[in-house]
Chain A
Amino acid sequence: MSRKVRKEGYPSTRSELLGALHTKQYDEGWLSQDGLKAVSDDLNVPAAAVKGVATFYHMYHNEPMGRNVIQICTNVACMIMGAESLVDLLKKEYGLEPGGTTDDKRFTLVIMECIGACGTAPAMLVNDDFHENLDEKNIIEILNGYK
């Protein structure tokens, strides 16, 4: 008989750490000291180890984010297709610097390494949504959809 329920689970609870941090970040928008402490307590993993993991991986946010996180790739394939001018445009349009958040907390801008959209460059992720073949016109139209 086949099992009808997907078996999650790892041989060690420590392996649940990356997922637990993703969940915490999804729920709270970022990983605060209190958030890290809660994960540490839940999984019985030392707080220092949790902090070590949270600061190693680039997609964990260790400071408060805006409501929408613009993750724009400027790696080579996107750079040669004009990603830098898009970053400049975001500065002009929203006063956004890389790593910065708008005063109204609407956007945070994160410069990404390759996001696997090189054939449809330049590209970005806004929160969990992929947007490809960007140009100076459509990027603003797309961002208008994020309040």
Chain B
Amino acid sequence: MSKYTLKINNRELAVSNLEKELYPAYGFTKGRLLEYYGAIAPYILPHLKGRAITLKRYPNGANREYFFEKRCPPHLDWVETADVPYGKKKQLTACMVNNLETLIWVENLASLELHVPLARAHAPETADAVVFDLDPGENADVLDCAKTAIILREMFLKLKLYSCVKTSGKKGLHVFVPLNSNRYGFKETKQFSRAVAQIVHKNHPDLVTTKMAKESRIGKVFINWSQNDASKTMVSAYSLRAGEKPFVSCPLTFQELESRALENKPERLQFKHDETVLRVKKLGDLFKEMLDKKQSLPYL
């Protein structure tokens, strides 16, 4: 087993097992995992900063068993943590990935996926964005999600709300409305997202469902509004996803979404690790408005 000591920002960090295959069908080792997260760090870190991270760890690779780790695993003293509510009465200590050394440390634990709540750790009940998690049911695909995302975006434009979109890195899309205000709790964002989902469903009943049941979802896009909850997490922008290939949950513009969807090839709405790194170098962070754009929800 290989072992190296890295020195990042004057902190020493041991990494190991770099030749281990983490996406065996594709040939992507732990070394390349660290390389990806190192390259994407300037773009992903602002989206992780100050949030209680949930690690989705795949110790034996993306096609094997995994576990969610909400509690911060045993760590060196420079890893920053936060105590956040867990369930109704309990608390837990979660990691905050605030800098490069912590990012590399969690990746050395084979945390292929990094999930974050829609709230910052210092204010766990304040929703700083609304999310619409678009999940295609059986016989539907990311192209149907793209149609739904564009309907949502047009609706938000008329309400004078800015929104942005990323691929889920699996089969769906995530549309966000940033709020960055201390005015809204999850009760309000849930009310808003639910009303939006219901209106879209009412007007496009063949495309969209608001029901979780599998049979309601056949051939349709499920708008999962219930993700707007203090106890839920979403995969972070720029996180890898476990799967056959190292796809990323990757931001894109609505114009791109529209033109790529018109090509009618679902694979045009998937971005691999290397493509994502090239994109951010060229386009910058298409999710930067998520960090500080302040908006108000109408009528709430």
Q: Do A and B come from one complex?
A: no
> Interface on A for B, CB 8 Å cutoff?
none
> Interface on B for A, CB 8 Å cutoff?
none
